[in-house]
Structure 1
Amino acid sequence: RHGADYFRRWHREKEHSGGLMVHKSSHHFDLVNWWLGARPAEVFGYGRLGFYGRAAGERSGYRREYERAHGAAAAQDDPFALDLAANDALRSLYLDAEGVDGYHRDRNVFGDGVTIEDDMALLVRYDAGATMTYHLTAYSPWEGYRVMFNGTRGRLELEVEESAWQPSLLGTSSGRGTIHGDQALANAGGPRLVLRPLWEPPREVELPAFDHAGHGGGDERMLEVLYGPVDPAAAAGA
């Protein structure tokens, strides 16, 4: 769902977003730079549009004939269609504001005008000597990431499963969290960290409880850095 959402809105147009390598993957690259304490020295990349857009949708059979979901009969049985009117937050933030800004948040992901890639790969050499292979798939049936480090003493494997599977958008109920990721869904997964030392059996490393709300707890930490700790009395409405 998260991947598809970039293809409903302005991100789908390369001239406006720069593509997902800029808009999404840059966060991942920042993490790797931090983990390695290094910066890229040489990069090779490849990307393609193979799932979203009109041509791919016609090949797969997912294509429906509508420009945007709101008011379109053809979108009623489309599991990729976003019903802005069925979600309180999305309706007030986007649908009710269209008369002012003209912004359509619910375009057909298999429509015309998709100019960004949905499948991207990189090979990177860092100035400290490490190399990285990277792949971003914007149409995966699950949401999360896997990171593996191979070193002189073994291998470290991190898997963060943010959602184990993605339900269709058909029947999306009103409320918050189902689209924007500010609350955990019923299909939420979790993290797993495995250490594989040389000459020893692998062992799982115990991790603190994973906070699904607010981008893994990152939103709350970022706001605290910017604005200071939250006053419990104020948060409770006292």
Structure 2
Amino acid sequence: VHKSTHHFDLVNFWLETEPETVYARGGLRFYGRENAENRGITRFYQRAYGSENAAGDPFALDLTADPHLAAMYLAAEKEDGYHRDQSVFGDGISIEDTLAVLVTYKNKALLTYSLNAYLPWEGYIVAFNGSKGRIEVTVREKSAINAGKERPEDGAMKSGVQEENTILVMPMFGPPYKVEIEEGRGGHGGGDPLLLRDIFGLPGEDKFNRAASHIDGAKSILTGIAGNISLQTGLPVKVDELVKF
């Protein structure tokens, strides 16, 4: 639900509609101890810090190798008890890492959604197919953690591929063209300063009506909640039967 909720919120905003029915299939296909054992892995650990078995594991997050991570997570463990460097192949890993979701919306739009949580790049590719053609949006972000080792330059992935933000429009009858994307300064393409100003300062002009309410947040997470129920039952779920606004 966590990461997908951001995606489902974007879809609700883009399509100006709400989810009606959700059907989902998927499961834990890569992470988790059982999957690792099936691939021949025999050395396990619960967290990387202080573990000999974590040495040489490319999936291990070494908090001591990065002063920023050490200060934010390792030094704060006595405050919140959170271990940021837990093994994704340790005991207790149960969240799905591979998902396929089909959503029908109240305006008759359809969403086919695929999530793979273990791939070597972070981002998303969105395609809008409509009566006037197709729009493709590609957001390829940098590697977020890089296992606590030397982190790449801002805006670059481990392989050296620069981050990509593109919009390609393919009209039904006409040549395709790219749309220039305006980005502000600050995190999330300039979105963080705008959000902070909206919450703690004086909101500025919002010509795209991007400011979300608590109702918008609830409607975005309902897609994920319905998807989780569908995973358990194997049946499509009607969102209106989960909650009334």
TM over 0.5: yes
Q: State how far apart, in whole Å, the 2-side matches of 1:152 and 1:125 are.
A: 18
Q: State how far apart, in whole Å, the 1-side matches of 2:74 and 2:99 are.
A: 32
Corresponding position of 1:205: 179
Corresponding position of 2:110: 131
User: Is the partner of 1:45 in helix, strand or coil?
Assistant: strand
After the TM superposition, which residues 1-238 of structure 1 pair with which residues of structure 2 at under 5 Å, given as runs? 22-61=1-40, 64-163=43-142, 168-169=146-147, 172-173=149-150, 178=151, 184-187=154-157, 188-209=162-183, 214-228=187-201
| 2:194 counterpart letter in structure 1 | R
- TM-score w.r.t. structure 1 length? 0.75
- TM-score w.r.t. structure 2 length? 0.73
Query: 1:10-43: per-residue Cα shift (whole Å, max 9, x none)?
Result: xxxxxxxxxxxx2111111111111111101111
The question of whether the paired residues in 2 share the 8 Å contact of 1:141 and 1:166 is answered with no
Deviating above 6 A after TM superposition, structure 1's stretches of 4 or more consecutive aligned residues are none
Question: Which ranges of structure 1 fall in alignment gaps of 5 or more residues?
Answer: 1-21, 230-238
Corresponding position of 1:15: none
Q: State how far apart, in whole Å, the 2-side matches of 1:136 and 1:196 are.
A: 25
Tell me the number of residue pairs that the alignment of Structure 1 and Structure 2 aligns: 198
Query: 1:189-233: per-residue Cα shift (whole Å, max 9, x none)?
Result: 12111111112121112222476x52332222111111227xxxx
Q: Give the stretch that moved more between structures: 63-72 or 40-49.
A: 63-72
| 2:108 counterpart letter in structure 1 | G
Say if 1:156 and 1:186 are closer, same or farther in 2 by CA, change over 3 A: closer
Question: Which ranges of structure 2 fall in alignment gaps of 5 or more residues?
Answer: 203-245
**Structure with the larger RCO, 1 or 2 (CA within 8 Å, 6+ apart):** 2
Q: Over the residues paired in the alignment, what is the CA RMSD in angstroms?
A: 2.4
User: Is the partner of 1:122 in helix, strand or coil?
Assistant: strand
User: Is the partner of 2:147 in helix, strand or coil?
Assistant: coil
Give % identity: 47
The question of whether the paired residues in 1 share the 8 Å contact of 2:141 and 2:155 is answered with no
